Amino acid sequence: MSSGYSVAVVGAGAVGVEMLRVLRERNFPLKHLRVLARSDRQMTVDGETYEVRATTPEAFEGVQLALFAGTEGEKGAAVTFGPDAVRRGAVVIDNGKDFRMDPEVPLVVPEVNGADVERHRGIIANPNCSTVQLVHALKPIYDLSRVERIVVSTYQSISGSGAPAVREFDQQLQAAARGDAMPPYEQIPAQLVQNVLAGCWTFLENGYQDEEWKMVCETHKILHDDAIRITPTTVRVPVVAGHAESVYLETERKVTADEARRALAAFPGICLMDEPAPTEKNPHARTYPTPLDAAGRSDTYVGRVREDPTAPRGLLLWVVADNLRKGAAQNAVQIAEEVVRRNCLLR
């Protein structure tokens, strides 16, 4: 890496804040850092104050890497300002959904398909948070034997819907504690406190939710394998941070649980936590990941690795990650690191 790069973070919400944290934590070599949002103001993150400028085409002058925080389910600022940023010489890394399935735009999880950044034409897309942790955990097993079939059920935290939904969930918690009626459902379609919701996203004509279909299309694109049969179900759970996934997969040849554990433990960014039952050495052990284990951390956590006794080539995994970190902000910063490492900046 050179002495530093000019970086813009576009968005001052939850993901934008995490991007600032991750840039600092990973010691990304910064020459200049610019924070852009809807309007001029100051913001403080972990005791450090940032001058926020309004996002305009001219604000990208001199920027080499532009990290767009994006917003789940909405057209992000990258649609409006991304082309202007590229014309001014910035590589755009977009956390929104708008460019993910564009065949001209790489969709990247660096540990899985980092080389894809080399074919960018100015824009690189960050996958949906639930897809990121899924493909991250799949890749070491896929490298042992091609994955033919996936059935995945997600247990997704409310922070995936943004800060207003988190505030509404907190209001629901307070109302439930007081025994009051639930506040109006605005960001969340029903009571989430003491409940789980299997219909928090937009339903498509095929009966799936758009959040589910993203996992199908994005997994195919990232792994370069459209033949994988994928059946997803996405569920919102009363957790603030951290998505969990129950993953069933079938491989071309049998991969044993021990083989899978070894591959997972050796893979970059994977933390294997797979001793779910007490042992003589540690009779009080509970070694499988939970959203609390992943909250605020950067790894993808995998546990409950086991073979399916009813299917000769079936494996099951429990996968957990912080959706705002590995599922969004950190993956975007890792993409920026990959662009720098592979020397594929625009200037």
Tell me the catalytic residues.
129, 243
- The CA dihedral of 59, 62, 64, 66, to the nearest 10 degrees, is -10
Report yes or no: 63 and 85 within 8 Å, Cβ to Cβ: yes
Beta-carbon contacts of residue 275 (< 8 Å; ≥ 6 apart) = 282, 285, 287, 288
Q: Collapsing DSSP states into helix, strand and coil, what is residue 52?
A: strand
Q: Which two tokens stand for residue 334?
A: 């890792």
Q: How far is CA 7 from CA 158, 201, 319, in A?
A: 29, 33, 32
Unique residue bearing structure tokens 């493909």: 135
Residue type, 65: L
Report which DSSP code applies to 172.
H
- Strands 229-236 and 5-10, by their bridges, are unpaired
Task: Give the Cα separation of 168 and 193 in Å (integer).
Answer: 11
In contact, 249 and 141? CB cutoff 8 Å: yes
SS3 state at 35:
strand
Alpha helices in the chain (DSSP H): 14-25, 77-87, 110-113, 129-144, 163-178, 210-223, 257-266, 291-294, 330-341
User: CA quadruple 164, 203, 127, 271: dihedral positive or negative?
Assistant: positive
